[in-house]
Structure 1
């Protein structure tokens, strides 16, 4: 039995949209409608674009019968009459291919913005990351403009995109256009790679349990799968310019599906935790006892909330005596990221220290600070809430 690409297209679409509904439900349950963030709305813009892309893919198989102005020899082009239904199918298919490249670029780059807004919330308050997020935003916007310009300027005049005869050349055969293929591939992979690298240092030093780390790493891991699909799509076009366009379209469908699902998954994980905690309590136990806590503001983790972290771990302790008026430097993101075990003391000298007269009564204050050294573990910060 032959596989029907249209059936696969709509099955993947249904799954992708279902993930978006569940994601939105999970976010509303977690924070309420008024506390939704830009990516919670932007994901529905992506769904609208995804719907348009799938509609175009369906039309390419039904209205155009999978045909376009590529995959024809000069002889076939010469004998094909304008009155032949195949001629009309190829014209329609060629136009759909141009629209398909446009919607695919809009969808992928919209999802990249969603991921960037997600990282913005994830790294809120960390000094090292705002610049990285701004660079990501600039990279996404600039590369998106370049991709659109390539689609609409690489074939001139523009109507040659659906010209059948004479042969308009590779640049005007949208299904296998090498300018579009290479520009979109390189910029897509480069932006996904940059987004993949943003949270890695933070996750590597985080004390989150494996479950919460998995929730956060799904987005960058999904970027790797997207790169794989984009690579396979490009290989099919290069190796088989005759039939590669159809295979490339199928891999493009899978590419956008993976992008939609992996963008939604991290927001769904807290809901899954609520559902599965009664069944697997040990796997979803809170990791608050291992997280750095700012005394003034508490801390938040993925799918969790602030709370005390007072469990005492066994291990060697050292006792030191200092004078009053000490403060802890808890605001340094750099120290948390570097996993420093040192506690910075400030103003160690008493402000009231003066010269005392003979036979006067001297009252001194002494504070004993006990620090614990945990073998094999470093103190690091915990991630902010989604």
Structure 2
């Protein structure tokens, strides 16, 4: 890949990422208004800023420093390099950029992970089993980010050895090929993405809808698999690409980060995508199949008696907002012997008790329905 094509790819990824963030912000503003923005809304804006900085640094590695760092040099080449030469300046500056680039790369990835975890906390509201997983995710993300950041900054002491040319500072002080950098970041990145997948997929697998729609929703929330693949590919490329490792590593870092941003934003803007598809006659792409998505309450068949169905006060997901136009129908999840309705991109008219279906505009609303059986004394 030439430098020119790499520049085109980098700016294309930046444009797409910022477009997704803008669309997400628009959808969230339309749903809840600026005053009710959640932490992940602001955190995603910060993620966009970090991604922009990451791409700028990756561009500088190629455009200004020719991909040169303190790596891929023999002892003879190190000793012969004049400290006053332009190449020496490029190698020192390129190494500094690598340290900064790795740090911002990790910040961007983990910022996107936190956005996803916060989104899942709304998705699983009221479901204790899944809420616990989200709480564990917060702890896991916090500890792994600290571990990763410290491994980047403290793996080489004193820090100026990160850009030392002569003598050879050793592998851990060569940020382009440092095995500490590559392996710690990859392992913890894969671990956290795998755990985040563990939150929504079991929940969605229980959705009482057609198989086609169930699979499409699971694919929608399975983007972490692409991040895992990109992380592994990036590590393999850096370790095997030789002197071109700095350039190729930077490119794969940008690709991986873009995928992470897309994964964190597409579930939010999905109702807008579906709405646009409906307007241009592509509604079949997002239609349900199989049995209808209307919910059916659980009933017990223990003898005969008077059956009373009472619906608990609905705990509406904060992603819901009264008013607006419905984008989709309700979906049902059966968990813990309660009926749990997951309304994906419906409409909430603001009446918690007047309708059998919880409706949200552009979000995922969660309600519970419990069936109570009262047996009459003396009945068979």
TM-score bracket, normalised by the shorter chain, equals 0.7 to 0.9
What is the aligned partner in structure 1 of residue 223 from structure 2? 222
Confirm or deny: 8 A CA contact 1:215 1:269 kept in the other structure: no
- Residue 40 of structure 1 pairs with residue 41 of structure 2: yes
Confirm or deny: 8 A CA contact 1:63 1:92 kept in the other structure: no
What is the aligned partner in structure 1 of residue 294 from structure 2? 290
Confirm or deny: 8 A CA contact 2:62 2:247 kept in the other structure: no
Give the secondary structure class of the aligned counterpart of 1:345: strand
* CA displacement at 1:150 relative to structure 2: 0.5
Describe the shift of the 1:176–1:16 C-alpha distance in structure 2 as closer, same or farther (beyond 3 A).
Answer: same
Aligned partners of 1:59, 1:118: CA distance in 2, in Å?
Answer: 34
What is the aligned partner in structure 2 of residue 308 from structure 1? 356
* CA displacement at 1:74 relative to structure 2: 1.3
What is the aligned partner in structure 2 of residue 67 from structure 1? 68
* CA displacement at 1:11 relative to structure 2: 1.3
* CA displacement at 1:238 relative to structure 2: 2.4
What is the aligned partner in structure 2 of residue 349 from structure 1? 376
Give the secondary structure class of the aligned counterpart of 1:175: coil
What is the aligned partner in structure 2 of residue 371 from structure 1? none
Counterparts of 1:264-279 in structure 2, within 5 Å, are: 264-278=265-279, 279=281
Confirm or deny: 8 A CA contact 2:117 2:137 kept in the other structure: yes
What is the aligned partner in structure 2 of residue 76 from structure 1? 77
What is the aligned partner in structure 2 of residue 98 from structure 1? 99
Aligned partners of 2:282, 2:62: CA distance in 1, in Å?
Answer: 46
Give the secondary structure class of the aligned counterpart of 1:301: strand
Confirm or deny: 8 A CA contact 1:109 1:144 kept in the other structure: yes
Aligned partners of 1:292, 1:159: CA distance in 2, in Å?
Answer: 65
Structure showing greater Rg: 1
Aligned partners of 1:331, 1:300: CA distance in 2, in Å?
Answer: 11
What per-residue deviation string (whole Å, max 9, x for no partner) do you get for residues 11-51 of structure 1?
11111001110111122223332332221111001111111
Give the secondary structure class of the aligned counterpart of 1:148: helix
**Structure 1, unaligned runs of 5 or more:** 310-329, 333-342, 354-365, 367-386
Give the secondary structure class of the aligned counterpart of 1:160: helix
Aligned partners of 1:74, 1:225: CA distance in 2, in Å?
Answer: 39
Describe the shift of the 1:95–1:243 C-alpha distance in structure 2 as closer, same or farther (beyond 3 A).
Answer: same
Confirm or deny: 8 A CA contact 2:194 2:224 kept in the other structure: yes
Give the secondary structure class of the aligned counterpart of 2:70: coil
Aligned partners of 1:24, 1:206: CA distance in 2, in Å?
Answer: 28
Aligned partners of 2:246, 2:57: CA distance in 1, in Å?
Answer: 15
Give the secondary structure class of the aligned counterpart of 2:344: coil
What per-residue deviation string (whole Å, max 9, x for no partner) do you get for residues 209-244 of structure 1?
65576356424x221111111111111222234332
Aligned partners of 2:157, 2:259: CA distance in 1, in Å?
Answer: 33
What is the aligned partner in structure 2 of residue 202 from structure 1? 203
What per-residue deviation string (whole Å, max 9, x for no partner) do you get for residues 172-214 of structure 1?
0001100111111110000000001111111111024655763
What per-residue deviation string (whole Å, max 9, x for no partner) do you get for residues 40-94 of structure 1?
1110011111111111112222232211111111111111101110000111000
What is the aligned partner in structure 2 of residue 145 from structure 1? 146
Aligned partners of 2:255, 2:136: CA distance in 1, in Å?
Answer: 28
What is the aligned partner in structure 2 of residue 177 from structure 1? 178
Confirm or deny: 8 A CA contact 1:71 1:242 kept in the other structure: yes
Give the secondary structure class of the aligned counterpart of 1:174: coil
Confirm or deny: 8 A CA contact 2:312 2:369 kept in the other structure: no
What is the aligned partner in structure 2 of residue 315 from structure 1? none
Aligned partners of 1:285, 1:107: CA distance in 2, in Å?
Answer: 34
What is the aligned partner in structure 2 of residue 2 from structure 1? 2
TM-score normalised by structure 1 residue count:
0.76
**Structure 2, unaligned runs of 5 or more:** 298-309, 315-340, 349-354, 358-367
Describe the shift of the 1:174–1:21 C-alpha distance in structure 2 as closer, same or farther (beyond 3 A).
Answer: same
Aligned partners of 2:87, 2:276: CA distance in 1, in Å?
Answer: 54
